[in-house]
Amino acid sequence: MMTFSVAPLVIQMPAIAAAKGASSSNSNDHPKFPSVNHQNGKSIHVVGICLRKPKSHSRSKRRLPCKSQLADFAPVTSAAYGILLFSGGLFAFSKSGSKGSLFGGLTGAALMTSAYFLMQASETKAIGDALGFGSAFLFSSVFGIRLAATRKLIPAGLLLSLSICALVVFTSAYLQDSL
């Protein structure tokens, strides 16, 4: 029988062993679903190539397997948001010669760069989160006013939605770090 070892778990694959001419002699095998060696009273059944644990009929609340929180994405959000503001300002300047858009893009990129570097140290993480929150709030206000004035979804509506998403991430990060 061919045996695969994954950490402390040993998986026996009778189908592969049968193809090689070996026979299965494990008394723990179910006739339909070959099982993995029992460890700590738990068994994992092999069905095709999918490993699954036997269903438990407890009524406990299921939690998502994701261990990261929204606040963990604050540095990445500040970097991506800063790049988007900078590139948007450059694009608007090159297309229409708007110095206000260029200044806004450069200012946003500088604020987000500062927030990113402040978030890297644990002593200044809350300050970086607050700076990111304030900047995202400022740009949300600016793009909200532009959307109300022009009623055009591109670029004001798109940038407003991105600013609100960044605002949510920075709010979550600030509340997690300050509490």
**Residue 63 resides in a domain:** no
Question: Are 151 and 77 in a shared domain?
Answer: yes
- Give 30's Cβ-side CA count (13 Å radius): 12
Whole-angstrom distance, CA of residue 55 vs CA of residue 57: 6
Of the candidates 129, 118, 123, 110, the residue with the CA atom closest to the CA atom of residue 70: 129
Please name every residue paired with 11 in a beta bridge, in sequence order, or none if there are none.
4
Mean per-residue pLDDT, 1-19:
48
Same domain, 74 and 48: no
pLDDT exceeds 70 at position 141: yes
Residues 18 and 82 in one domain: no
pLDDT-based confidence at 111, cuts 50/70/90? very high
Residue 115 lies in a domain: yes
- Residue 92 sits in the same domain as residue 168: yes
Is 108 or 55 the better-scoring residue by pLDDT? 108
Q: What is the pLDDT of residue 9?
A: 47
Q: Do residues 123 and 48 share a domain?
A: no
| Residues 172, 84 share a domain | yes
Domain count, the chain: 2
Q: Which two tokens mark 1?
A: 């029988």
- Domain co-membership, 116 together with 168: yes
User: Whole-angstrom Cα distance, residue 64 to residue 110?
Assistant: 36
Same domain? For 123 and 163 the reply is yes
Does residue 120 fall inside a structural domain?
yes
Per-residue model confidence (pLDDT) at position 59: 54
Range of the domain at 156: 70-178
Average pLDDT over residues 53-64: 55
Establish if 65 belongs to a structural domain. Answer: no
Tell me what percent of the residues of the chain surpass a pLDDT of 90.
53
- Any domain includes 25: yes
CB atoms within 10 A of CB 22: 12
pLDDT given at position 6: 45
| 11, 91: one domain | no
Q: What's the pLDDT at 147?
A: 95
Q: Which long-range contacts (CB under 8 A, 24 or more apart) does 82-90 make?
A: 82/108, 82/109, 82/111, 82/112, 82/113, 82/115, 82/116, 83/109, 84/162, 85/109, 85/112, 85/139, 88/155, 88/159
Same domain for 79 and 165, yes or no, is yes
Does residue 57 sit within a domain?
no
Residue 121 in tokens: 């140290």
